[in-house]
Amino acid sequence: MTQSKKISNFISEYVSSLRREQYLKINLILAGVIVLVIAYSGIFSPDTNNYPVVCIHQKLTGEPCFSCGLSHSFSLIVRGRIAEAYEWNRYGLQVFFFFFFQLLIRISFSWFFIKYPGNRKRLIPIDIGGSILLFIVAFYPFLKNLIISL
């Protein structure tokens, strides 16, 4: 069987399963949101500073918040300008990797979910636990800052 035929069969199985499996619907929505975040980073340029979403905290107080510069950082990462991305927000790369790895997880776990239906009960807790752990690692500096500021 050719590679394109395998991909076509997987897509057809995915669409069929999507109608009845909530897990796949959630994965599709999360993957879509991540793709939109990455697309946003690619569309809006750090060189022109034309981002439509601005920091509300900075607008209200005039002071930058802990997450200021993430849009710039993501845009620079997408363009391969890692050192500049770090200058805008030193945690931008680890947050970007969180989203990137989550996209890979959504795709691969959806594939496993369809391909190996007998393992579904084990797959979902592994997905949840791994995603929570990945979230804590990626967002630890933000969570720590939030707790300190309370």
pLDDT tens figures, 87-135: 999 999 999 999 999 999 999 999 999 889 899 999 999 999 999 999 9
Determine the Cα–Cα distance for residues 22 and 137; give it in Å rounded to an integer: 27
Element (H, E) at 51: none
Q: Which amino acid is present at 141?
A: P
Determine the Cα–Cα distance for residues 1 and 5; give it in Å rounded to an integer: 6
- Mark 5-43 as b/e (b = at least 16 C-beta within 10 Å): eeeeeeeeebeebbeebebbeebeebbeebeebbebbee
- Greater pLDDT, 97 or 19: 97
Query: Domain locations in the chain?
Result: 3-45+90-149
Residues 6+ apart with CB under 8 A from 52: 44
Q: Where are the alpha helices (DSSP H) in the chain?
A: 3-18, 22-43, 56-61, 70-78, 82-88, 92-115, 120-149
Residue whose tokens read 């009845």: 20
pLDDT tens figures, 23-70: 999 999 999 999 999 999 989 888 887 777 777 777 888 887 777 888
